[in-house]
Amino acid sequence: MDDSGSEDEQITVGHYEGGRNEGGQRHGMGKAQLPNGDSYSGEYENGKRHGKGTYRFKDGARYDGQYQQNKKHGQGTFYYPDGSKYEGSWVEDLREGQGVYTYPNGDTYDGEWLDNIRHGRGTYHYLHMESKYVGMWVKGHMETSGEYIYSNYKYKGNFLHNVPTGDGKFVFDIGCELLGEYQATNKDETEDENVEQDSTTAPKWIPKCITGPTPSTPALEASGELTDQSGELKEESGEVAEDSRELAVDFEDAAEEDKITPKEEEAEE
């Protein structure tokens, strides 16, 4: 329904109880039942939701927070219909600034937002993997520098569209580092040459050298590799340890935010 701004139409649709200014507009504290089934309780200024309030949607969604000229603006918490929740900064109805999003699967993102998507520095916690990504985001994707952190080691390097790329290193709690690089999987390396590669194809980890103590992992302990004077990870045969190639980031795409954000009724109650 369009916002005509007519007080006569306001009286004939919905229901409002609360303060008004000298011109008859809603002003101060008030409660409104909207014609579409939504409701609002909170502050008004000159006929607009302005200040702190709670907006309840008929589908079960709810917003608790600050408004400015009928738009979510400032600090607030939005409870989405799918069970997810965003708590943080809003700018003209969009998630923007610092905020925490809790996803239906239990994952969380704590960081910067722009135009409703993850953008800037932030931390994404994977609940079922007990791991997290800490680093930069660009338009909803892991980009540039970041870290995947696990219980006893972490990976530091660059990322492109949510996957590691280029030079990087695994840093273990025992004090050693495994250096190498992630390379895109070539088409001729796939089992089926007729399978078209896409952006979700896992990159290949190429180990180069190791510094400090040998990583205490079952794969490396069983391989019998040695470290030569150059620091390159070697087996007794002199080849780069194949088992070290298994030390790859078990990456997983971050969950998506609720794409259908309910909108408040634009018409004045």
pTM: 0.76
Residue 118 pLDDT > 60: yes
Average pLDDT over residues 140-144: 93
In this prediction, residues 26-33 reach a mean pLDDT of 97
**What pLDDT is recorded for position 255?**
80
Chain-wide mean pLDDT for the chain?
A: 80
pLDDT over threshold 70, residue 8: no
> Would you place residue 257 in the very low, low, confident or very high pLDDT band (cuts 50, 70, 90)?
confident
Question: For residues 73 and 90, is the Cβ–Cβ distance under 8 A?
Answer: yes
Least confident of 41-55, 94-108, 195-209: 195-209
Taking residue 159's Cβ as centre, other Cβ atoms within 10 Å add up to 27
Backbone dihedral angles phi then psi of residue 182, each to the nearest 5 degrees? -100, 130
Distance from C-alpha of 81 to C-alpha of 168, rounded to nearest angstrom: 40
Lowest pLDDT segment from 30-39, 108-117, 167-176, 223-232: 223-232
- Buried (b) or exposed (e) across 208-243, using 16+ Cβ within 10 A? ebbeeebbebeebeebebebeeeebbbeeeeebbeb
Q: What average pLDDT does range 172-198 have in this prediction?
A: 69
Residue 43: predicted pLDDT: 98
- Helix/strand/coil for 229: coil
Q: Is the pLDDT of residue 157 over 70?
A: yes
Residue 136, classified by CB atoms within 10 Å of its CB into exposed (0-12), middle (13-18) or buried (19+), is buried
For residues 36 and 265, is the Cβ–Cβ distance under 8 A? yes
231 vs 116 pLDDT, higher one? 116
Residue with tokens 């590799």: 225
**Residue 175's pLDDT band (cuts 50, 70, 90):** confident
Query: Which tokens in the block code for residue 18?
Result: 């609360």
pLDDT at position 246 is 52
